[in-house]
Structure 1
Amino acid sequence: MALTTSAVKERSLLGLKNLSASEISSILDRAAYWDDKEDKVIPILKNHFVANMFFENSTRTRFSFEMAEKRLGAEVLNFTAAASSVEKGESIYDTVRTLESMGIDAGVIRLKPIGMLEGLAEKISVPLVNAGDGNNEHPTQALLDLYTMKRHFGELKGLKVSIIGDIKHSRVARSNLWALQKFGAEVKLCAPENMQAPELAAYAPYVSMDEALCVDVVMMLRVQLERHEGSIFKSPEEYRLHYGLTEERAAKLAPHAIIMHPAPVNRNVEIDDALVEHPQSRIFKQMENGVPIRMAVMERALL
């Protein structure tokens, strides 16, 4: 049965900026339900076809979605642009429409062009889930981050969270900022001047590295030095010196504070190697939590 336009919109997940706190909470609660299930496969999505359409590489995110989909019993088609006709000039829209025409029931999509996803969703009649679009949003990453914080601290209200690193190019920073503030968390940003997104200063203050460490959650971002030509930092070592979470800086964190990172991690650049699996680190726990979050998101898209 074809979904109405409004139903497709409700089941799609394009971002968290316009999603209510109650809607986000329902996804987190459903993720907890799946997290507590011991059975590896519960085929509630049997006979549903999902296409993972990655027009930008991300092995980790794609595998997390695929694991979630297969645990729910969905039939999964994996599409990567490098091995596709998009490389030969076929448009992203044509590719998505082609898969829709073949009978997919939902699409997970990751792409580089900013602002394209919303227009695409208007023209496609199956729910779409944003797996990262440009430097706009990465909603499932922020959902798994919130889930990780909530499981650890019990609630999000009143939490102090610092997001440190390449804010300018970070869709993770944006989705986390929009979502955390809906729950009454206090967000601070920390970045070198050429890695700041000035438009976000109206929502969260930019603070010094010392101040950014006086929080409950330190979220380090992957440094994308290749995107900063003429950077004020001549090398990864110099970035680490000024903005990396070194062992020395980590020693100043409150004993209850946790360290997070969306991964992949540049070890010994934004975070020292010894801290990745430190007792206060939740980096691998975040990856683990990505599966139940994406199970909840795919169930929401298809049922």
Structure 2
Amino acid sequence: MTTAISLKQRSLLGLKDISRDEIGAILDRAAHWEAQSEKVVPVLKSKFAVNMFFENSTRTRFSFEMAEKRLGAEVMNFAAAASSVEKGESIYDTVKTLESMGVDAGVIRLKPAGVLQELAKRISIPLINAGDGNNEHPTQALLDLYTMKKKFSELKGLTVSIIGDVKHSRVARSDLWALQKFGAHVQFCAPETMQSPELAQYASYVSMEKALKADVVMMLRVQLERHNEGVFKSSAEYRQQYGLTEERAAKLPEHTMIMHPAPVNRNVEIDDAVVESPKSVIFKQMANGVPIRMAVMERAMG
């Protein structure tokens, strides 16, 4: 019978409360899976995984599904738009129903923050956070760290600038918690209306000029419609003040790496030409998401 301790160890709800050693073990295991020449290594044969997306995210769902299938697991995909949740069934009832059917682990993405943590207390299968509200997106941060580590070898001492809508970004939070465990220096750059004051005690807010003098420049997706204050009249105005334009990218230090959790608003937070420039690793991040999620799913069900 699964104990509460082992279940907690196999779940991945966030990176704030897990140790550096646990994160390091996941990164090491991801390197193992990336090195495999065979596309399918069925270590999870006869295991069932369900991807429960109560919020749309095609890239994340496909990345998890690819990881699960490469490990030989049977995969079920669940979309809220086609479910009884639309008819009034609670998220808990839906997850509990799938658990009752014999699923071995659940990947879950949902809008409200805090719900996942409550679910985990009442569900007896490992749960993997694929993004919850403005809280965390742990596997995205893990693939970010993995991508940085592949280039710089060590995370300690790196200066990482996270630029954009910090207020609504679960990626910013997970990256902050994880990078600081490894001794990296994290700094934010955001318009005042896009800042998250509660994070200021952990990382300072700096000017765009200072933010661009970093080892890693991570641009966040910006959804201007979320900001009722209307501080920017248009996407063009945001780009002019906070976008990684070709002109700004040309002035970056030679070794600086450009990152983005995707999907990218081209010519808003990053100019089109910069997305696929030599300094950009945006598509490498997407590729690295598969071995990272293989390591996470193996940890959950192996």
Q: Is the 8 A contact 1:12 1:301 kept in 2?
A: yes
Residue in 2 that maps onto 1:152: 151
Tell me how far apart the structure 2 counterparts of residues 229 and 60 of structure 1 sit (CA, whole Å): 28
SS in 1 for 2:258: strand
> Within the alignment, does 1:264 sit opposite 2:263 as a pair?
yes
Tell me how far apart the structure 2 counterparts of residues 13 and 224 of structure 1 sit (CA, whole Å): 27
Residue in 2 that maps onto 1:207: 206
Matching residue's letter, 1:186 = H
Q: Is the 8 A contact 1:47 1:74 kept in 2?
A: yes
Normalising by structure 1, we get a TM-score of 0.99
Q: Which shifted more, 72-81 or 223-232?
A: 223-232
SS in 2 for 1:168: helix
Residue in 2 that maps onto 1:39: 38
Residue in 1 that maps onto 2:76: 77
Give the deviation of 1:4 after TM superposition. Answer: 1.5
Residue in 1 that maps onto 2:182: 183
Tell me how far apart the structure 1 counterparts of residues 4 and 228 of structure 2 sit (CA, whole Å): 43
Matching residue's letter, 2:42 = P
Matching residue's letter, 2:91 = I
Q: Is the 8 A contact 1:190 1:206 kept in 2?
A: yes
Residue in 2 that maps onto 1:67: 66
Matching residue's letter, 1:109 = I
Tell me how far apart the structure 1 counterparts of residues 106 and 73 of structure 2 sit (CA, whole Å): 12
Tell me how far apart the structure 1 counterparts of residues 257 and 109 of structure 2 sit (CA, whole Å): 29
Tell me how far apart the structure 2 counterparts of residues 3 and 12 of structure 1 sit (CA, whole Å): 12
Residue in 2 that maps onto 1:11: 10
Normalising by structure 2, we get a TM-score of 0.99
Identity of aligned residues (%): 76
SS in 2 for 1:143: helix
Tell me how far apart the structure 1 counterparts of residues 262 and 230 of structure 2 sit (CA, whole Å): 22
Tell me how far apart the structure 2 counterparts of residues 91 and 225 of structure 1 sit (CA, whole Å): 30
Tell me how far apart the structure 2 counterparts of residues 224 and 146 of structure 1 sit (CA, whole Å): 24
Tell me how far apart the structure 1 counterparts of residues 85 and 166 of structure 2 sit (CA, whole Å): 29
Deviating beyond 3 angstroms after TM superposition, the runs of 4 or more aligned structure 1 residues are none
Tell me how far apart the structure 2 counterparts of residues 6 and 105 of structure 1 sit (CA, whole Å): 17
Tell me how far apart the structure 1 counterparts of residues 75 and 4 of structure 2 sit (CA, whole Å): 24
Q: Is the 8 A contact 2:11 2:128 kept in 1?
A: yes
Q: Is the 8 A contact 2:193 2:229 kept in 1?
A: no
1:80-126 CA-to-partner distances (Å, cap 9, x unmatched) read: 10111111111000000000000000000000111111110000000
Tell me how far apart the structure 1 counterparts of residues 147 and 225 of structure 2 sit (CA, whole Å): 30
Tell me how far apart the structure 1 counterparts of residues 133 and 106 of structure 2 sit (CA, whole Å): 17
> Within the alignment, does 1:105 sit opposite 2:130 as a pair?
no
SS in 1 for 2:168: coil
RMSD value, Cα = 0.5
Q: Is the 8 A contact 1:51 1:104 kept in 2?
A: yes
Tell me how far apart the structure 2 counterparts of residues 7 and 29 of structure 1 sit (CA, whole Å): 20
Matching residue's letter, 1:130 = N
Residue in 1 that maps onto 2:251: 252
Give the deviation of 1:230 after TM superposition. Answer: 2.5
Tell me how far apart the structure 1 counterparts of residues 70 and 128 of structure 2 sit (CA, whole Å): 17
Residue in 1 that maps onto 2:56: 57
Matching residue's letter, 1:125 = S
Give the deviation of 1:7 after TM superposition. Answer: 1.1
1:115-148 CA-to-partner distances (Å, cap 9, x unmatched) read: 1111100000000000000000000000000000
SS in 2 for 1:202: coil
Q: Is the 8 A contact 1:161 1:185 kept in 2?
A: yes
Matching residue's letter, 1:48 = K
SS in 1 for 2:186: strand
Q: Is the 8 A contact 2:239 2:267 kept in 1?
A: yes
Alignment of 1:89-238 (within 5 A): 89-238=88-237
Structure 1: gaps of 5 or more residues = none
Structure 2: gaps of 5 or more residues = none
Q: Which shifted more, 212-221 or 230-239?
A: 230-239
Tell me how far apart the structure 1 counterparts of residues 12 and 182 of structure 2 sit (CA, whole Å): 19
